[in-house]
Amino acid sequence: DAGITQSPRHKVTETGTPVTLRCHQTENHRYMYWYRQDPGHGLRLIHYSYGVKDTDKGEVSDGYSVSRSKTEDFLLTLESATSSQTSVYFCAISELIYGYTFGSGTRLTVV
């Protein structure tokens, strides 16, 4: 989607290894979000950020950490990946008066 990119698009990793997913925006939006989507669960909020170095937990934050050192980048880290974290991860950006814009997603497989 225009103004937001996720990297990598696909990743296969081994159980126990650290993984970092990157979300980059060019819209200068204040708010950024990480969701995961699994069959039967829909989209669930992991973490979100309301400014540089301001982050908070979502519905399913256990096993994940985030960092936002500058407006344009929001990183999601799995400190020690587990098979239950196999999922599709979506990043989103927003300003309060506007709708969200979602990235194209990162498909992560933990083997």
Q: Which residues of 90-107 are buried (b: 16+ CB within 10 A; e: fewer)?
A: bbbbbeeeeebbbbebbe
Q: Does 34 bind another protein (CB under 8 A)?
A: no
Distance CA 85, CA 72 (A): 25
Q: What angle (nearest 5°) sits at the alpha carbon of residue 69, between those of residues 106 and 55? A: 75
Out of 9, 12, 56, 69, the residue judged to bind another protein by CB under 8 A:
56
Q: Which of 2, 14, 42, 83 binds another protein (CB under 8 A)?
A: 42
Residue entry with tokens 């506007």 = 98
Q: What is the size of the binding site for another protein (CB under 8 A)?
A: 26
Does 79 contact another protein by CB under 8 A? no
Task: Give the position of tokens 């708010």.
Answer: 31
């399913």: which residue's tokens? 60
The residue (of 14 and 53) whose beta carbon lies closer to another protein is 53
Q: Which residue of 24, 90, 108, 110 would you call a contact of another protein, by CB under 8 A?
A: 90
**Does residue 102 belong to the site contacting another protein (CB under 8 A)?**
yes
Residues of this chain that interact with another protein (CB under 8 A) are 1, 31, 33, 35, 42-45, 48-50, 56, 58-59, 90, 92, 94, 96-97, 99-105
